[in-house]
Structure formats: structure tokens, C-alpha cells
Amino acid sequence: MVSGLHRPTKLVIDRQAIKANIQQEMQTLPQTTELWAVVKANGYGHGMVEVVTTAKSAGATGFCVAILDEALALRQAGFTEPILVLGITSPTYAKVAAVAHISLTVGSQEWLAAALPILQSGALTTKLAVHFAVDSGMGRIGFRDAAGLQAADTFLQQHVEFELEGLFTHFATADEKDTTYFKQQVAKFQQMRQALATEPRYVHVSNSATSLWHAACNGNMVRFGVALYGLNPSGTALSAPYPLQPALTFVSELVFVKQIQAGDAVSYGATYHAKQAEWVGTLPVGYADGWQRRLQGFHVLINGQYCEIIGRVCMDQMMVRLPAQLPVGTKATLVGENGGQTISLQDVADYAHTIHYEIACNLTDRVPRTYLPEKS
């Protein structure tokens, strides 16, 4: 996608905030526990390569992504640290991953059997590192019983093309007050863990939520995801044990200002009609940038004042009601601080009846990212 470098709409990413979030988490971890930064989905919308650069300088020793292409992009960018693909990759690409020293998630013996001939075809000087995923209750991917896990472990030991590097699971309710289901998953994982003949190098269960509120479960590696970006995994249900620093600010500017009269309509469907004479500003940002159509009626910050989004958000533009006539070029803040007031990603998510993960990940590449430097 083309990046909109010639319009006044951009994301500003604070590298120091990312670094601080990682370092705060690392201070809570034993020296034997590694932190791997989760940078899938373009670093949760923050910019994958730049986030990896910052996370590495902050002390992250590895990285987690969702798909093989993300891992390959990091290798092409010059990163040599361990990388784990958390999703299931087609066994067709087993050799591609092995050659690039990328670890893959495996959830069945059938996957190993399908990957074996791929790895055996032609010369291969390195093993494929795999992490066995255990479905302890997420219901997504992974081994569901000890017998299946044990059979896969036996198969893997019989074929030198593979190396069992890790064992992991993912919790469905680690960010909730009720820990009943969480404890059931912990018990299931511990029971499944006993099926392995030898414990692999990495045993990891902790996403951000688990590490923040259930640190006793951490194992020897933490998959630090949304909290890395300064976002509370539970939304507002639980308080984080230390302050998280949001890294993302979303800003634009007024490109057109006009006065409308009582009864005048604004935007598609004429869903908004002015009740009196009003000053209206147009911002060059819309749902093609990830600012969802459902955000009609929400607000932006201009000169420290909340200005309502009036009419439907368009693909590339949206309109806001102004407190008075303001000059073209006046800054508008969609997410972040402006004039002593703040709009958080959580505020946006609450209005849109979703989670802040979705708002951040939906911000498209058409919006250029600029980066504030880390402090030495």
C-alpha cells in the first residue's frame, strides 16, 4: 500500500515507551527467564522492524510472529535472533524455515510426517527447530491429549531432521478476574508436559497477561506482546502491576473549515443534521486508514477540546464539529495527548465495542509511522 507522506496524517511511535515497558517487565523476571517480543501484525500496528530494533536494544532475546512471511521479513532485515512462528505453517515450507533458522509451531504428528520428506529432499545442513503447541483449553491449535503428544515426541526422536526446541500453550482467560478456567488450563498443560521424554530448551506459557498476573507460571520464556506497546491486556478489568507507557499517538490536521447552518447535513446517508449554525472541520483520515466507520459520534482532540466526529466516517476523510472557527492546519489528535487531555486506544475501543488490539492492528500502512528516539 502507498504511504501517505504528502498529507498531514501520521502515527508517532515512542521507542522509549516500548523500551521502558520491556525493561520494567524484565526487572520482574528471574535471570533464567528470557523475554521474546511478540511483533506479529506489523508490531501490532506499530511497525515490526522498528519495534524489533527497539526490543532488541531493551533486552529481548527472541521474537514471536504469526506467519512465516513475518519471520522471513525479519531475517531479510538482518536480525539473527531466534524467531518462533506461533501459527501453523504448511509443512511444504519446512525447509524454507529450516534454512532461515526459523522455529515452527507443530500441533500434530501428521504435520511432522508431512514435513519429513520435504526436509529429506536435497541437502540440508541444519535441523528444523519446532515447538510443540498444547491445546490446554484455548481450542485453537495444538495437541489435545498426552498420547498424541508422546507419539509425536517419539516420531521426532527417530528423525534427525527435527529438533524439539520448545513446548508451549496459550491461556484463554489469563486477563480475567475469575481464575477458575485459567487454573484448569495450567493443570492440563502440566499433565501434558509429563508426556515428553526430555524437556526441551524452552517451556513457555506466558503471554503478556499471564506474565503480569500469573508470573508463577512463566516457565523460562515469556512471550511479551500487547503490554510491550503499553496496552493493558485486560482492558480495564485488571490493573497492571506496574505503569504501562502507551507508545502510539495518532495525529492529523484540519484541511478544510466551513460554517454550516441549522438543518444542513454532513456525510454519507445524511445521518447528521446541524441543530444550529456550526463550524465544521475536515480531517484527511478515514476507514481506509483503519479509523473505523463505526466511530461516528466519537471525538478527536483539538486545542485540548473534545470535538465530535459528525456524520459517517468516509473512506479517506471525516468531519468534526469545532468549538469555533479554527485555521486550516490546526493539529487534531485521534489517539494521544493534546492540550492536557488524552484519548487512549482503550477509549476508542470502548466506543467501538471492541478491544484496543483490533484498533491498533487495523491502522493501515497508508498512515506513515514516525519514530521518536530512545533515550541513552
Active site residue 95: no
Nearest Cα to Cα of residue 286 among 305, 267, 265, 272: 267
Q: Under 8 Å CB-to-CB from 16, ≥6 apart: which residues?
A: 372, 373, 374, 375
Beta partners for residue 106, in sequence order: 132
Cα gap 239→242, rounded to integer Å? 8
Does 318 belong to an annotated binding site?
no
Task: Give the CA dihedral 73, 77, 80, 82, nearest 10 degrees.
Answer: -30
Which one is catalytic: 177, 202, 242, 268?
Answer: 268
- Which helix H or strand E contains 13, and what residues bound it? strand 10-14
Nearest Cα to Cα of residue 204 among 61, 41, 45, 21: 61
Asked if 221 contacts 207 with a C-beta cutoff of 8 angstroms, the reply is no
Which one is catalytic: 40, 93, 188, 272?
Answer: 40
SS3 226: helix
Active site residue 40: yes
Nearest Cα to Cα of residue 42 among 374, 372, 366: 366
Does 315 belong to an annotated binding site?
yes
Positions marked catalytic? 40, 268
Q: Which residue positions form the known binding site for substrate?
A: 140, 315
The binding site comprises 140, 315
